[in-house]
Every structure is written in structure tokens, then in C-alpha cells.
Amino acid sequence: MILRAIPLVILAFGFGSVAAKENNRFGDLEIRLGNPIWSAPKKHYVRATIYRMGTAGADHNTKAHKSNEKIRLHYGTESEVGTVAAPYWVPRGSLVKLQTKQGKYLFIAADMGGSVERRRASKTLGRTKEQKAAPVMDFCVKKQVWPDFVTVDLYYYSGKVPFAELKREEQGELFVYAQKYFAKGK
């Protein structure tokens, strides 16, 4: 009887240590970056363009599947955080949330580019004054499932350490943390 209880106790401690390790991992990230890591959301009307890794993008970094930060470009899906090229006024590490009929998509601003800054997609394809003035965000996805002009929720990065100064592993952890943060209904 005692021998049967020992494996259950060991198993219970094993699960507890995995959960504690997961919480500690994000706890360490929060200690380094501060809490909150992102501001409350602000709504922005944007021209939402897309780029596919390796097929679009004119500069050598995009063609090499690398952003101008340390992380690799990453497709966004309903279950995975992706990358977005955002205007200069959006701090790297900021979150952009798109709500679509298919679900919620989440992206981290990890890249920038001349096309985003020039806003040609808004200026040439916009029909209204608001559309022509809209900033451009270039989302890394396989297929666009939202309108060309859309309102996004922008959560400005407010971490104590600038996103570009984070180690590659920390940037990767921030993606996982962002997914878990929004899975809680934020």
C-alpha cells in the first residue's frame, strides 16, 4: 500500500515543479521587463497589407526571413503570435490584435520597412480621406482574412528593456508570454 502511494506523490511533485518552472519563466521575464509589459489597448485604423516569408519584401532581411531585430519572421495564425512590420512610432515589441470573423490574430511589432513608412498602399488604394491617411502595417501571414482597411487594437510595448536589447531567447519568450496573456481574455 505504501509503495503504491510513493509513485503518486512523486508524480504530483513532478507536475508541481513543471508548473512552477513555467510560472517562474514568465515571472523572470516580468521582473526583467516590468509589469505591465504592454499598455492598455488603443484603437487604430490601418491599411493592413500582408507579406509571405520569402516571397515578398524587397530588402535582404525580409528575404532572409529575418526582421530588423533578432527574431525570425513568424506567420501569425489564430493560435500563434506572428510578426508585423509597423511604422516607426510603434515601439518594437508592441502587440497588434486583429479581430476577424474567423477569430483573433495577434502580432508583435518586430520589423519596420520603407513600404510601411511611405504608406503607398494607403495613398494609392484608399478611397476616402481616412483611408488615404491611414498608417500601413505589414502582417506576416499566409493568407489575408480581414479587409484591407481595418481597426486594430494596439498595445504599446512598455517594458523596462527595449525590445531590440532583449536576447533572442527573451524575444522568443515574449511571443509565448503574449499568447498566454491573451488566452486569458485580455
Taking only the tens place, the pLDDT of each residue in 9-36 is 333 333 333 344 455 567 788 888 988 8
Say what the pTM is: 0.77
* Among the listed residues 37, 23, 60, 59, the one whose alpha carbon sits nearest the alpha carbon of residue 166: 37
Query: Does residue 101 surpass a pLDDT of 60?
Result: yes
Distance of CA 141 to the CA centre of its chain: 12
- For 20, phi then psi, to 5°, come to -65, -40
Q: Are 90 and 110 in contact (CB under 8 A)?
A: no
Q: What is the structure's pLDDT at 65?
A: 44
At position 2, the amino acid (one-letter code) is I
Kind and range of the H or E element at 183?
Answer: helix 168-183
Average confidence (pLDDT) over 86-115: 89
Can you read off the three cell numbers belonging to residue 80?
500563434
Q: Give the contacts of 135 (CB within 8 A, at least 6 positions apart).
A: 44, 46, 47, 87, 116, 119, 122
- Helix (H/G/I), strand (E/B), else coil: 79: coil
Residue-by-residue DSSP string for 13-71: HHHHHHHHHHHHHHHHHHHHH-S-SBPPPEEEEEEEEEE-TTTS-SSHHHHTTB-SSSS
Output the CA–CA distances (angstroms, integers) from residue 4 to 7, 8, 9, 16, 105, in the order listed.
Answer: 6, 7, 9, 19, 47
- Greater model confidence, 12 or 132: 132
Chain segment 156-183, per-residue pLDDT in tens: 999 999 998 888 888 888 988 888 877 7
Q: How far apart are CA 118 and CA 23, in angstroms?
A: 42
Q: How far apart are CA 130 and CA 146, in angstroms?
A: 18
| Percentage with pLDDT > 70 across the chain | 74
Domain limits, the chain: 1-33, 42-183
Can you read off the three cell numbers belonging to residue 42?
488603443
